[in-house]
């Protein structure tokens, strides 16, 4: 069974920042924004074959999304 169809412009995630005013605000990121980075990481670091990947960045930091998506994209 396959999941729902997802387009490049569909929402991938929302990350909340303190913003320049100190008031939290959500920033929406589409699949178009995250997929090229994850794909580059997989190609650059050889994650196209089964490997173990350490997810070392705290989930509250936006870079963690790159780590998570790269690992998920590589299978």
pLDDT number for residue 49:
67
pLDDT tens-digit profile, the chain (75 residues): 788 899 999 999 898 877 778 888 888 999 998 888 888 888 888 776 666 777 788 887 888 888 888 778 777
d(CA 62, CA 9) in angstroms, rounded, equals 19
Q: Which two tokens stand for residue 29?
A: 């990121």
Under 8 Å between Cβ of 57 and 67 = yes
Residue 33 CA, distance from chain mean position:
9
Residue 26 backbone phi and psi in degrees, to 5 = -90, 140
């Amino acid at each position: 069974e396959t999941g729902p169809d997802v387009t490049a412009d569909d929402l991938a995630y929302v990350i909340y920042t303190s913003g320049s005013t100190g008031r939290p605000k959500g920033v929406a990121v589409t699949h178009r924004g995250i997929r090229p980075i994850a794909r580059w990481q997989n190609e650059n670091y050889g994650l196209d074959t089964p490997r173990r990947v350490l997810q070392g960045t705290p989930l509250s930091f936006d870079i963690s999304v790159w780590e998570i998506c790269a690992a998920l994209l590589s299978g």
